[in-house]
Chain A
Amino acid sequence: MDSQKAIDHALMRQVQQDDFEAFEKLVDRYKGRLVNVITRMLNDQSEAEDLVQETFLRVWTHRQDYDFSYCLSTWIYTIALNLAKNELRKHRKFKFFNLIEMAEKGIEIPDPKMGPSALGHMLDQAITTLPVKYKTAFLLRDVEQMSYEEVAQILGVPLGTVKSRVNRARAVLKDQLKPKLEQSRALSQGSLVPVRTM
């Protein structure tokens, strides 16, 4: 982790000297992760890419303001998530719907008879139903595999609050995906065998 931080800081020092190549290296290091998180925040990949571009534009514009006592990743994620939150607020994309509503609206839900790989798809859909603050904490912690300390820094909330939000998000997802999880558990114990239907 420290080596990553050292690489980021070395690149950022070059960026502060207007080195655009170093900036592009930074972009390549972070764009995938940022697009991944923001796409799941906004449920719109194209909009997420635009927003990540705006994030990097701000990083370039304010490169001289960067404080080396902080992690670069924290700074970049904070900018991106603040932009995403503004976007959600602007378009009122806080949608609270459940899997039944999604089925009624024609959103694709995998057949529960499918194998355990379908769990990922269902989890992806279920994440969209989480309230924004739980979703953000869950995405950073469980999807991006960040430490609780990093998530707390990015979100600007105490460590305990992050733990509580992640716990709450997992509990909500667990309740939503219970049937699928049960099936997965049965499969892992060998009591069910997946059968491909014609």
Chain B
Amino acid sequence: MAMKIAVLEDNLDRREAMRVCLKDRFSHFDLRFFAIPKEMTRFFDDHLSETIAISLDHDLDLQPEVGRLTDPGTGREVADYLAGHHPVCPVILHSTNSLAASGMELVLREAGWQTFRVVPFDDLAWIATDWFRAMRRAIVGPVKKAAENPF
């Protein structure tokens, strides 16, 4: 069964840039994007143990729902969910909201999750550079310790 890469990101341009980067190196993994935290945690209810890397944004745009806009919540909800589970893989935090990202980082680390921080810059330029490097570290790095760490 293919391991999953799960990304909380609602911006379509960012998603496409991430998809292109991951296809270049990690095409054999099952890539899942989410725009709504609840949908992501529902996915994790069934697939968390098959997940090899997670990337979370914090601030999310309002979502259209039956003629109105609803608040989807934030990446913090996913961080809180993960903090209630045994760590299975590293988590990348890719948010310009540094205060909120610090809060997510704290709650995840206290629960034993390994985290990487990536600060978006220059529109999409950060995705092929900082984010992709963090993603590679998140996926390739833990393999070394497979026999001895929780991943």
Instruction: Please say whether chains A and B are actual partners in one complex.
Output: no
Chain B residues near A (Cβ < 8 Å): none
